[in-house]
A and B are shown apart, each in its own frame.
Chain A
């Protein structure tokens, strides 16, 4: 009897897991079967159009690349600097504890709230308008907690003997960090950054909130240009009643997922390289 109950429970638990995996399979199947027919070279090189057959994602793809590149450029130095402070300098102080608590709370703030912050602060108060810069600044704030947490983890994997060896040779604290600790932690830092950016590239709500346009027929030509991004273009197509636009949305999702999976693949390659390098 007890044995039976145990076997049934194992089966039910496994079932819960398999249902989740089956749903993922259904999702992938749904999108591929809806979107594969619309996926073509023209779809990548054409811009938005009122005619579903001729519409493409070029402008949105370029918008996403602009925004994500700039987000990375903003989030990397600030995130790494913050992580170095928390891990190497202030780890025991009360201020550092407070900052840590604050970061872990920020990581769970809904992304749409960051959109409202971006709207009030970057778009209005700082007068950036609905530009690539305002979008990237908003997403950088959103990505920072993740970059900081993963960088700290990477810094923690550097053995303390490396630091002690450097100090013993007369290096200062910063020389030790810059010349020894950071280079060793770099692959881990980059992996964390790419994962944070791959999350940011799928973000829709904060960019809609700051006013990134849903219909914009050109690619950005600079950081002050107006823009749209892939997920917003997808959202725009999903919201239209005509079935042709639904197919466009599915094809747009395919482009987004390919972009996401390649970013994840790069992250995995970087991580494996790190593990391949000699441990001390």
Chain B
């Protein structure tokens, strides 16, 4: 008796709630029958939980299968807000710090005065490679910054046509200079890595403020802790920027989709602006910030007193080696 009473309810339940279980035969042309699916719900869910709405297309293009990717909004916020602020503060802030430093402390002079005698610090290969990387970096940096900030800073001044020409050739330069830059970074690593292994003296150097902020000159080998930092920022940062950059040059390479491209851009741009800030400090101390420093990468010959103050251990080592070597093996002066 009870079974008979329940039967109509069972049929109703099956028809409404489980059309998939009993096939389409029983299904009524109700909302649920065609498989309940809501554009609004799907979009909201993907937006809140991440992910995207994907399907199948007849086009031989994997990118076309993504119907809606809410991550584009997050990337837009990164590009327009996060990157603009991080880049603006890092690059602009570093410029302000350097100006303040120059006005406050002024040019750091060689305390003992110039001796007039020089010692070879970098050979031709080291200098040529340094300047290849430096030239590439400056152009890559400026053209890169132009993509993020040019629209706000340069476009109102030069007008849309000229700005497009600058940005277009800038983009081409940016893409092609990536190759000599990467080559230079690899060479730099091979040339200088043996002198840039961190050691106990670096901690002491930092404790004393590196002779830059503090007084006096902590002992240092061929490279002091500050220079080692520049080296590792250049090589490790350069490697990260190169890898992410090549993914951007060769878009959608292999299995990479739009999410990977967005990630590559985020990594590339954030590391780049931080590297630009670091290199501004490097350029400052290597040029107007310190007497005698530019010669190291200019002529390759640095003043002996400068070398003794900043790289005492290296000078001792060089002089020991010089004394041991036959006279003819000395570099020409």
A and B form one complex: no
A residues contacting B by CB (< 8 A) are: none
Chain B contact residues, CB within 8 Å of chain A: none
